Every structure is written in structure tokens, then in C-alpha cells.
Amino acid sequence: MFDIVIGLEVHTQLNTTTKLFCSCPTSFNDRPNINTCPTCLALPGALPVLNKSVLEKSIMLGTAIGATVNRTSFFDRKSYFYPDSPTSYQITQLYKPVVEHGTLDIDFEDGTSKTIRINRAHIEADAGKNIHDGSVSKVDLNRAGTPLLEIVSEPDMFSAEEAVLYVKKLHSIVRYLDISNANMQEGSFRVDVNVSIRPKGDTKLYTRVEIKNINSFRFIQKAIEVEVQRQTEAWEDGVYDEEIRQETRLFDQVKQETRSMRGKEEAADYRYFPEPDLLKALIPDDMFAKFSDIPELPDEKKARLVSEYGLREYDAAVITADLETAHFFEAMLKEGISGKNAVTWLTVELQARLKGGLSIATSPVDAKTMGTLVKRIEDKTISGKAAKEVLDYLMENASDVDSVIEKLGLKQMNDTGALEKIIDEIIANNEDKAEQYRGGKEKLLGFFVGQTMKASKGTANPQSVNEMLKAKLA
């Protein structure tokens, strides 16, 4: 039997308006090679100048993970040749990164949690993109020189589940801090997964395999599963030493396997050395003070929702897992409704109706409208059942809650006199059943409730109907 050991390197693209060392825009999806200049094209004589907002965002991340933020850090050159890198080296931070020694807590469904150590977070420049188009390969350098923060964990995760929880938590933190768009499809949040196995109980680290550039939570899970399987089989077949080498592999989601990209024989010699074109990266006191004052993080927001609105831990976790949902929820609450009702109408009713690529962020029904809808249930204008009809209508038609209630005639009957009249009539017409009820056949209450709701065309308040029927039948 084996234990699994996982360490993760997450590359998160910082959402600065300009690149790391030049003033080219970082916008996505522009015409190829339009966002370039002598610096990011590495033309002779052009010198890099550090973008200060990269340091500011690094301070925020460092603070969020309780790390040391180095007031002085350095840049290093990592040499490698690849068509998407016009410099033929990458500027990164090896010896003195901007952020060191942080932690991040992951929470399991059973309510327990675990602390994962983060070794460091360093600043580096992204490469461009190679586009393979039939027999031609093209290079787009728009992305060359955009700022990345690479966040490197210790090998502290022992299952695919823990790795996914860690990545999700980190993803949510950078979104809350608003330091990265962290869009996995667009590649602004990419994960390298390092995996090894070891016999149960052993504490030494065995050979790690690095699976590069995974861009979805599900693929992280899958890639780990298939790689662990490969390593386990090699061990059991007695060929572990030959087959499992420290190497970089690629996850093929179609074939559900990992494949070697480059082995030890071809391992790059990066010839790291201090970057001679850049000064030290200094963080002055005022900058540190300003940017270490960070916004509320997911865990804090979760705790606050539990204590302020009495949400269940689980609901609070669902609400705070992503920033859009959290914002939507808080905007609904501005209508003065109960937290619990807001949770249900957001995470159950609205969520179920968001189909065909719609999300909370692009919901056709906005938070204020959802809040008003819940308010109309709470103030007994409509029943919960009617509210679902209103919501169905609003998903298809732009309008407001009160107009739709009016239009669909869903206003609840809150006139007790009118309700009493209906109930008296129904009991009078069904004296036999009323007798049986009094004789102990309490199931028959459902029959009377049904008749009353039908007679009121669904506009009676079910709770009032129940109470009044019980009193009248007693």
C-alpha cells in the first residue's frame, strides 16, 4: 500500500494594466503581436523597468497567506531557448523571492481542516504563445512579459482531493484580493502538479513527476489519479526505478494518461544568474502599509456570514467559495430578508435555473430582484410556490417582481374573512370527511388543505389554511 505526496506550483497572471517590465498593455485576445515593444521583444539596448503594481499585488498575496514579504528581493535569469521567448531567458526570482513561508488552510466536508505550507511566491515574466496551424507554427508575443506570480507549496498534500481543495482555495483568495482574473480557460491561472508515491508509513520523499499546465479543477483530480496509478503499477511490477524518473509530463485528457515531455537526459540547464539589467525590488514602508491592508478573505467572510446571519457552516462555505456568489448574496440581503431564505433562493432556485452557460455573474435576474422576490414571500404577498412562477417568468422576461405578481395574478389571499368563508363552505360540503377526521383520521387534513388551495386558486397562504382548518375541524 502506498501514500501519495503532492506539491503544487500555481502560476497566476497578475491583472496589471501593463506588462512586468514595459508599458505594453496586458489585454487578452488582441490582434497577434500588437502589444509588443523593444523591451518585451528583447531588441538590443532595450532595458526592463519593474512595474510597481506587481510588488503591490505581491504584498497582498503574501499578507493573505500569512507569509514573510521581503522588503528587498532580486531577479534572476533562467536561460532556455524556445520560440515563444524572444529573450531566450526568463526573468524570475530564484534566490530571493518577494514572498516566503506562508500557509493556507483547506477545509474538508466533514468540518475538519488542514494547513498546507507555502514555500514561496515569486514574480516572473510569462512567455508568448506558439500557435500550431497545420504545417506552420506561428508565434504571438502579446503575452510575452506579462507578470506572473508563481506560488509554490511544500509537498504537504496527500490526496487528489486535498490538492483540488488547495487550488480552489488559492483561486478564491486571488479573486477576493482582485490581483488576478484567474480565468483557468484563458490560462491566467495554471497549475503544475508534482506527484510521488511512497510505501505507507515511510517519511522520505521519492521521485517526483511534474505534470505541467493543468487548467481545470477536474483535470487536476484526473491527472493525479492516472499518474498515481502509473507509479503504483511500476512499483508493483518491480520496474519503479527504471520507469519513474524525475521528469516533466503532460496530461492528455482524451487518452486519460500522462506522457513524457522531456526526460532527465534532456533536462534543461537553466544557468541561473542574477539579472544584471534590473535593480533590487524594494518595498518602501508606505507601500507595504497600504497594500498589506487587504480586503475580507473567504474564511473571514464565511465566519461573518455564520455569526451575522446564522447561516450553516456548509451554506456559508458555498456562498463564499467564489466572489460573484458572495457579492450576489450580500446584495440580496440589502433588501432586508433573512439569510437562510436568501441562501435557498440563491443556491437552489436561481442556481437550478442558470443553464446554457449562464452563471451568477451573467444571471438575467439580478441580486436586487432576487432580494425583492424573497421579501415578497416573507411579507406574505406571495407563496413560495408562486415565487417560483415569478422567477420562471423573470428568467425569460425583463421585468420587476411586483409587476409580475400583478400580471400573473399571484397575490396571496391575506384576507382572513375571505379564507374563513371558503373553509366553512368546504367543511359544510364534506361533513362526512370532517366527521372521520374528528374520529381520528387525521390524514384527511391534507384533503381539506388541497380543496382550500384549489378554491383559492393557490393564492391562500398554506400556513394560515392549515391553522384555520385545524381550528375549525377540532
Q: Which residues bind ligand ADP (CB under 6 A)?
A: 5-9, 152-155, 194-196, 205-206, 208, 210
Q: Which is nearer to ligand ADP, 8 or 401 (CB)?
A: 8
Q: Nearest to residue 232, comparing CAs of 256, 261, 209, 262?
A: 209
* Residue 152 site contact among Zn ion, ligand ADP, Mg ion, none (CB < 5 to 8 Å, cut-off depends on kind): ligand ADP
Q: Which is nearer to ligand ADP, 230 or 376 (CB)?
A: 230
Cβ(231)–Cβ(244) below 8 Å: yes
Helix axis angle for 416-429 and 431-438, nearest 10°, is 90
Q: Which is nearer to Mg ion, 208 or 388 (CB)?
A: 208
Spatial distance between the Cα atoms of 454 and 464, rounded to a whole number of angstroms: 15
Q: How far is the CB of 17 from ligand ADP (least distance, A)?
A: 28
Q: Which is nearer to Zn ion, 40 or 160 (CB)?
A: 40
Phi-psi region of 96 (alpha: psi -120 to 50; beta: other; left: phi over 0): beta
Q: Which is nearer to Mg ion, 119 or 363 (CB)?
A: 119
* Residue 258 site contact among Zn ion, ligand ADP, Mg ion, none (CB < 5 to 8 Å, cut-off depends on kind): none
* Residue 332 site contact among Zn ion, ligand ADP, Mg ion, none (CB < 5 to 8 Å, cut-off depends on kind): none
DSSP letter at 14 equals: B
Residues 6+ apart with CB under 8 A from 429: none
Q: How far is the CB of 224 from ligand ADP (least distance, A)?
A: 10
Residues 6+ apart with CB under 8 A from 81: 88
Q: Which is nearer to Zn ion, 24 or 118 (CB)?
A: 24
* Residue 369 site contact among Zn ion, Mg ion, ligand ADP, none (CB < 5 to 8 Å, cut-off depends on kind): none
* Residue 40 site contact among Mg ion, ligand ADP, Zn ion, none (CB < 5 to 8 Å, cut-off depends on kind): Zn ion
Q: How far is the CB of 124 from ligand ADP (least distance, A)?
A: 11
Binding-site ranges for Mg ion (CB under 5 A): 9
Grid coordinates given for 208: 517526483
Spatial distance between the Cα atoms of 77 and 120, rounded to a whole number of angstroms: 18
Q: Say how many C-beta atoms besides its own lie within 10 A of residue 416's C-beta.
A: 11
Q: Where are the beta strands (DSSP E) in 238-359?
A: 248-252, 257-262, 273-274, 281-282
Residues 6+ apart with CB under 8 A from 416: 464, 468
Q: Which is nearer to ligand ADP, 7 or 339 (CB)?
A: 7
Q: How far is the CB of 24 from Zn ion (least distance, A)?
A: 3
Q: How far is the CB of 81 from ligand ADP (least distance, A)?
A: 18
Q: How far is the CB of 35 from Zn ion (least distance, A)?
A: 7
Spatial distance between the Cα atoms of 275 and 94, rounded to a whole number of angstroms: 11
* Residue 155 site contact among Zn ion, Mg ion, ligand ADP, none (CB < 5 to 8 Å, cut-off depends on kind): ligand ADP
Q: How far is the CB of 163 from ligand ADP (least distance, A)?
A: 10
Binding-site ranges for Zn ion (CB under 5 A): 22, 24, 37, 39-40
* Residue 464 site contact among Mg ion, ligand ADP, Zn ion, none (CB < 5 to 8 Å, cut-off depends on kind): none
Q: How far is the CB of 105 from Zn ion (least distance, A)?
A: 39
Can you say how many angstroms the Cα of residue 360 is from the centroid of all Cα atoms in its chain?
12
Q: Nearest to residue 157, comparing CAs of 270, 385, 4, 316?
A: 4
Amino acid identity, residue 314? Y
